[in-house]
Structures are given as C-alpha cells and as structure tokens.
C-alpha cells in the first residue's frame, strides 16, 4: 500500500524503523553505562509508542504534566516521574495518582514540600530540582540551606520519601558546538556529584537524575549519574541535528504537506502546513536563513533527504513557504506532497495529535483525547 | 461565582464584554463605510462566538481551511469563503460543501482553475488571489495574462463564477508604525482598484476584498474596497497592540496560569503555561526583551493591566518564565493564578481548544472536536 495516496491534509508521518532504532540505541546506551533509563514521554505522548519502550524492558518513565501521568497510568505504567514543579492547584490529581502508582514528584521549595506533607493521602517520592545552569527552575547547588529545610520536612512526613537530585541541563540547547554540550554536561554532573557526596550519608539510596537529549546522545562519561531521562531522541528533529545530537537521517517524523502553489521566480512552494501543524519553533541556519523545517522527498515506504537543505522560511497559521532549488521546483507539482522534518518534534506531535506509519497504522497521541477543561 | 477558584491548569479566559465590543465596533465600521463584512473565523474557531456575530446581522464569513468551513456549515453558516489556495487533494470536501452552501474559493493559477472546472459537481464562486506585497501567495497585479487565462476557464465553466480580487496585506504585520500600515493599505487598494477598473466591463459585479486586522482597525479610507475580512480583531493580542491596532485593554483573551515557583533574585516567576498553551509566537519589546505574552492581574470578573509591561521572556513545552517587578514579586505567591495576554491569540486559541468566561460558561473551539486523520 502507499499511504501517501490517502493523505489530503497535513499529516504527521512516522518512520517506525527510525523510531525503533532511536529507542534501541538509547536503551542500549543506558544499559552499557549501568544507568536507569527513565525516558521522557512528553515528546511522543503515545500509549502505542510507549509500548515499544516497554517491549525493550523499560518500566519507568518521565512525563511533564499530571494529565500525561494519568494517561500513561491508565495504560499500565506503574512508575512515573512528573518532571515539572509541583502545581499545588492539582492536589486532587496528585492524590488520585499517588494512590495507584509509584509517583515521583519534583520540588524546589520547602513551602511546597510543606504543602505536600499536609495534603497527601498516599506515598510519593520526591526529587529536589537543581538548577545546573539553565536558570529556568530549580535550586542553585549552593542553596543547601533550602535543601536541608526540604529534607527536614521529608523526614518528618510518613508519606514523603527522598529520591535524590534531578536536573535538566537544557542550556545544552544553546550550545554552539558538541564540545560545549559536553562541557555543560560535565559541569552539571560535577555539581550534582557534590550534592550526592554531601547527602549520601543521610540518604544512602539517593540518586542523581539528568535529562536532556543532547547530553544523553553525545556524552559517554556519566560518572556519578544514576538515571537518564531524555525524551526528544525518540524522534529527534532539525534542532537536534543542528546541535549535533543526531543526523538528519535519524529524524523519525515528517509532516506530509500538500503543495498548493508554486512561485518559480521566488523559488518558493506554498504548502498546506503552517503554525497550527508544525509550531512556530524556528532556528537560524548557517547561511542565515530562518528555518521552520527542512524538506524531504516522500516515498512509498519512507523519505529521502535531498543533498541540499531546503528550508521552510515562512509560516502562517495554515501556510508554509518552502525555499527550493531549481531541480525541486521543476520536479514538484501543485497537488504533490512534500515532507517537512520539524524543528521541534515535541511541539509538532502535540499539534498534530497523532501519527500515520507507512504501513497505514494510525498511532494515538494524548492530545487527541483531552478536552480543554479536564480536571 | 469566582471561576478562578475552579482553575487547576492553564485555561483560556474570555472576557465576553471586550469580545462583544470588538465585534460591535468592526460591524459598525463596515456598515459606516458601506462595506460587506465577512469576518475571518480562524481566530476564534467557535460556533458560539460565531453566533455573537450572527446576532449582529453578519451572514457571510471567512475561514482558512475546508475543515473549518465544514464545521461552520454544520452550524448553519451558508456563505463561506475559504481564504486559502485551493488544495486539489481535498476535492471531495469541496464538492460536499459546494452542494450545501455558497462556497467561495481562492485560486492563483489557471492550472488549478482547470482542475476545479473538471472536477466540480456544484457551483462555486472564485476569487483570484492577488499579491499586493506580502509575497506569500497570489498573482502579482501585473500578471494579467494569467488572470485572463483563469477568467477564460471560469467563463467556459457552468459551475464557476468569478467574484473578484482578494488580497491579504499581511505585510502590515511587519510595519514599524501606524503610518506605514496606512501606506501599505493605500498601496494595496491602489493595485486592486486598477484591476477592478480593468475587468469591471467584463464582470460588472466583481468585488475587491481585503483582509488584515491592522488595516481594518486603523484605516478610514476604503475607497474602492467592497468587502473586509479581518479576523484577529475579535480577540486582538499583544502583537496587534505593538502594531498600534488596539489598546492592551481591548485584548479579550488571557491565559490563566498557575504560579509554580518564584525566583526572587532573578525577578522571575515560573508558570504552568508553555509553548503547548500559548504557542511560540514571540515579539521583541521596545526595551529589547523577548516577549511571549504580557502579564495581567486576574480578578473575579476580568483582569487589570499593570502600568508596567511584565513579559513572559521564556517558554518551554509546559513552562513559562515571567519577568516581574518587585511589587508583583511580593504580591504573587506560589499557587496563585496570573493572566497572560497572548502574543498571537489565533494560535493560543487553537492550542487551548476552548474558552472559559467569567460567568463560568465553557465555549467550544473546532480543535477540541477534530481528530488528526479526519477526512
């Protein structure tokens, strides 16, 4: 069968083989380094793709919201870390989940820890979020006074148990080279190791958990790290390619977009495929052009990557403007489909709410099921 | 009632009074200038909000996709323009709609017009899309050879009828001043007037249709324009405020976001509210800061706009980083809700898939109902 013939509107294609390769590679890397693998499922948000991890022995996962935790708990996952600071307005959802699964939460203040200790009905594990340089969330490693206050609350609570220190070194996304990514990783590990040393006498089982896809893809020295939580690697994307975390050939999703107009003089194709399909995530290519995605040639069983980067340089709500070379301009007709590798696959998958494989399987995404006021 | 108490997660609040004022003002402006008002519904994508327009006498609308046209046709709208180049892969949907309502389509090539003439089962009206300077889609005004070819196909087809020339002067969004927006508008109208003059002998009923919210908000000279199709004005947003199209007080939607952490030294609040809620649309403030949204203080029956702009300067998948002044930092606690006026309300509404009013009404959005593979 040729699934492309059935496509009328922007559709997110998933290359199952590439995706499975990405998963297998990271499972193996974690095993080779003796690390617990707790993949972040916020990228795919799919019960079916979750099953592919489970088939390879993965039993613990990370998510970025309680809604996502509930979705995967319903699918049978029993050990879930919500890698987002506890939102005290969602105490009901926390208690619902904590009663059913091993729920691991993140705190960065004694105030929220106090709140949890007072409101919990069931046991949860707590990580303290450490800011190793991203400066988004977390305590600075030197803020051990607040760490101590949090740990005092934890030790007094029968329902709280301390798991360890967790970071997301998302500043690797701003790195200009692979060497810089490795330096950021080394620096983060150094900071977390110091904390581990300081607190391991009191909490012998505490672990250190790190998370970002660039580090987990590129680094081979994990020293005192116990757990890794990368997520994006399941699909990768153009941003990861630009960072050096993957090749373009490893990117496992492409948005199929109908061509609706050609502007030969400007070297532009107008695509049905815009901000509500790809997201407005963008990057600047080496040649200075803005890029909202990169063109691939769709085939019956996958896609081919042209030798020259042909970027999506403009994006409105529903339109994309694709910069193509003369050869592509001649070859591609109005009504054809082109593939676009997304700049940020997590956001594209969220917007598209599902996937289509080349053997015609439709694959679920949490966002196809959630209403806007779910509680 | 205080709806804020029921909010646990990012929720899109709609100030009904502001929204109705925006609608009434534009309805009146169109009437005052003798223009047909065909509002673009891609911003709100809501049957309920569509009803508010209908209550004020609006009977013709614009949408940006056939899915959206089907949604509003089901709700009773009988005269719909799809302001997007015809996608030949959706011929089935075009024929389904053309059999039920007055469907108005856009073409910019004789090739696609030929295709329509060959495949249509029912009558449709055709607009020729003219590129008045945005350079996204459309024929250049000088390309009258192609216009003539399109019109020849139209005149030979019993199912095609020529409506006129349509443009979207979206380059007003790049304008640096209100004066520049007015210049762009004047220039667009001049180009379309010339086309109208040239073809009115052959097509006495042809009209000129323009569309962007900045022009429609700011301009008072519409001369040879027959129809306006603004959309964003229904909510406005921070981008329109920056352009000068509206005041911040006219913005009718705000994302309610729980505060999950405070970083006093950096002057930052961490919000539950990220790229999957607001979109990654951004702009640069006059002081050079990146802005993904602007804070407002939520009250029981609406919101107040602080005297100083306090922008969202960082945005991840679920997190937002809000830059606040000392006063806000002292006043706002973890667990509180803050409101964020979006940079681009169309994209935020699409992501949030619905609205909550201050009297507790939940309002629908098309995206809450569509599956990812609907045909």
Q: Does residue A372 have a pLDDT over 80?
A: no
- CA of B321: which chain A residue's CA is closest? A136
Q: Does residue A1 have a pLDDT over 70?
A: yes
Mean pLDDT of B245-273: 97
Long-range contacts of A114-121 (CB under 8 A, 24+ apart): A114/A153, A115/A86, A115/A88, A115/A91, A115/B335, A116/A86, A116/A157, A116/A160, A117/A153, A117/A154, A117/A156, A117/A157, A117/A159, A117/A160, A119/A91, A119/A95, A120/A94, A120/A95, A120/A157, A120/A159, A120/A160, A121/A95, A121/A159
Q: Does residue A347 have a pLDDT over 70?
A: yes
Q: What is the spatial distance between Cα B336 and Cα B334, in angstroms, rounded to a whole number? A: 6
- CA of B66: which chain A residue's CA is closest? A9
pLDDT, position B375: 39
CB-based contact B106:A270 (threshold 8 Å): no
SS3 B345: helix
CB contact under 8 A, A87 and B373: no
Q: What is the spatial distance between Cα B68 and Cα B370, in angstroms, rounded to a whole number? A: 10
Candidate from B12, B115, B321 with C-beta closest to A136? B321
CATH class of the domain comprising A3-12+247-368: mainly beta
Half-sphere exposure at residue B315, Cβ-oriented, CA atoms within 13 angstroms:
27
CB contact under 8 A, B275 and A279: yes
Q: Does residue A374 have a pLDDT over 80?
A: no
In percent, how much of chain A has pLDDT > 70? 99
Q: Does residue B303 have a pLDDT over 60?
A: yes
CB pairs below 8 Å between A and B: how many? Answer: 165
Mean pLDDT of B307-314: 97
pLDDT, position A373: 57
Contacts with A263 from chain B: Cβ below 8 Å = 135
A375 falls in which pLDDT band (50, 70, 90)? very low
Candidate from A89, A137, A276 with C-beta closest to B258? A89
Contacts with B346 from chain A: Cβ below 8 Å = 317
DSSP state of B139: B
> Which of B105, B113, B192 has the alpha carbon at shortest distance from B152?
B113
SS3 B362: strand
Chain A nearest CA to B32, separation (Å): 30
Q: What is the spatial distance between Cα A102 and Cα A104, in angstroms, rounded to a whole number? A: 7
CB contact under 8 A, A275 and B318: no
Summarize pLDDT for A41-63 with one digit per residue, the tens.
999 999 999 999 999 999 999 99
Summarize pLDDT for A69-80 with one digit per residue, the tens.
999 999 999 999
Candidate from B8, B261, B362 with C-beta closest to A85? B261
CB contact under 8 A, A8 and B87: yes
CATH number attached to the domain at B3-12+247-366: 2.40.37.20
Candidate from A85, A319, A353 with C-beta closest to B137? A319
Candidate from B347, B368, B372 with C-beta closest to A354? B372
CB contact under 8 A, B353 and A371: yes
CB contact under 8 A, B372 and A350: no
Candidate from A270, A279, A316 with C-beta closest to B280? A279
Q: Does residue B250 have a pLDDT over 50?
A: yes
Summarize pLDDT for B148-201 with one digit per residue, the tens.
999 999 999 999 999 999 999 888 888 999 999 999 999 999 999 999 999 999
pLDDT, position B306: 96
CB contact under 8 A, A89 and B11: no
Chain A nearest CA to B352, separation (Å): 6
CB contact under 8 A, A373 and B351: no
Tokens representing residue A151 in the block: 């740990």
Domain ranges across chain B: 3-12+247-366, 16-234
CB contact under 8 A, B319 and A137: yes
**Mean pLDDT across chain A:** 96
Q: What is the spatial distance between Cα A364 and Cα B365, in angstroms, rounded to a whole number? A: 21
Q: What is the spatial distance between Cα B221 and Cα B367, in angstroms, rounded to a whole number? A: 36
**Mean pLDDT across chain B:** 96
Chain A nearest CA to B281, separation (Å): 6
Give residue for tokens 């040729």.
Answer: A2
Tokens representing residue A299 in the block: 């085939």
What are the residue ranges of helices labelled H in B272-341?
Answer: 275-278, 326-331
Q: What are phi and psi of A194, to 5 degrees?
A: -60, -40
Chain-centroid distance of CA A24 in Å reads 16
- Among A85-89, A174-178, B136-140, the range with the most confident prediction by mean pLDDT is A85-89
Chain A nearest CA to B335, separation (Å): 6
**Residue A371 CA: distances (Å) to CA of B10, B252, B339:** 12, 22, 21
Summarize pLDDT for A243-283 with one digit per residue, the tens.
999 999 999 999 999 999 999 999 999 999 999 999 999 99
CB contact under 8 A, A137 and B11: no
CB contact under 8 A, A87 and B270: no
CATH number attached to the domain at A16-234: 3.20.20.10
CB contact under 8 A, A8 and B272: no
Q: What is the spatial distance between Cα A216 and Cα A30, in angstroms, rounded to a whole number? A: 9
> Three-class SS string for chain A?
CCHHHHCCCCEEEECHHHHHHHHHHHHHHHHHCCCEECCECCCCCCHHHHHHHHHCCCCCEEECCHHHHHHHHHCCCCEEEEEEECCHHHHHHHHHHHCCCEEEEEECCHHHHHHHHHHCCCCEEEEEEECCCCCCCCECCCCHHHHHHHHHHHHHCCCEEEEEEECCCHHHHHCCCHHHHHHHHHHHHHHHHHHHHHHCCCCCCCEEEECCHHHHHHCCCCCCCCEECCCHHHCCCHHHHHHCCCCHHHCCEEEEEEEEEEECCCCEEEEECCHHHHCCCCEECCCCCEECEEEEEEECCEEECCCCCCEEEEECCCEEEEECCHHHHHHCCCCCEEEEEECCHHHHHHHHCCEEECCCCEECCHHHCCCCCCC
Q: Does residue A111 have a pLDDT over 50?
A: yes
First to last CA, chain B: 41
pLDDT, position B373: 57
ipTM: 0.96
CB contact under 8 A, A316 and B170: yes
Give residue for tokens 């005192």.
Answer: A224
Contacts with B351 from chain A: Cβ below 8 Å = 351
């Amino acid at each position: 069968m040729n699934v492309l013939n059935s496509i009328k509107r922007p559709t997110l294609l998933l290359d199952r083989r590439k995706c499975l390769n990405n998963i297998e590679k990271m499972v193996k890397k974690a095993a080779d380094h003796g690390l617990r693998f707790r993949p972040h499922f916020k990228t795919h948000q799919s019960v079916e793709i979750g099953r592919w991890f489970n088939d390879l022995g993965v039993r613990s996962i990370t998510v970025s919201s309680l809604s996502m935790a509930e979705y995967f708990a319903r699918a049978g996952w029993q050990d879930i870390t919500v890698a987002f600071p506890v939102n005290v307005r969602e105490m009901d959802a926390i208690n619902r989940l904590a009663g059913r699964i091993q729920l691991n939460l993140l705190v960065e203040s004694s105030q929220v820890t106090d709140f949890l200790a007072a409101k919990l009905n069931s046991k949860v594990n707590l990580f303290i979020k450490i800011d190793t340089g991203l400066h988004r969330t977390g305590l600075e490693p030197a803020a051990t006074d607040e760490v101590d206050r949090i740990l005092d609350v934890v030790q007094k609570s029968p329902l709280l148990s301390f798991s360890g220190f967790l970071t997301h070194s998302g500043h690797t996304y701003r790195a200009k080279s692979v060497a810089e990514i490795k330096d950021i990783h080394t620096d983060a590990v150094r900071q977390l190791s110091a904390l581990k040393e300081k607190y391991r006498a009191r909490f012998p089982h505490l672990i250190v958990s790190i998370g970002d896809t660039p580090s987990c893809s590129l680094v081979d020295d994990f020293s005192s790290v116990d757990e890794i939580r990368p997520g994006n690697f399941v699909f990768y994307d153009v941003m990861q390619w630009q960072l050096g975390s993957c090749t373009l050939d490893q990117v496992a999703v492409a948005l199929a977009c109908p061509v609706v107009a050609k502007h030969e003089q400007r070297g532009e194709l107008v695509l049905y495929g815009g901000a509500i399909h790809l997201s407005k995530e963008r990057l600047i290519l080496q040649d200075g052009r803005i890029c909202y995605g990169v063109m691939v040639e769709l085939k019956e069983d996958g896609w081919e990557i042209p030798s020259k980067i042909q970027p999506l340089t403009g994006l409105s709500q529903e339109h994309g403007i694709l910069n193509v070379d003369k050869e592509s301009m001649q070859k591609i007709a109005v009504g054809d489909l082109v593939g676009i590798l997304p700049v940020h696959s997590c956001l594209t998958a969220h917007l598209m709410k599902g996937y289509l494989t080349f053997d015609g399987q439709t694959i679920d995404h949490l966002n196809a099921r959630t209403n806007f006021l779910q509680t």
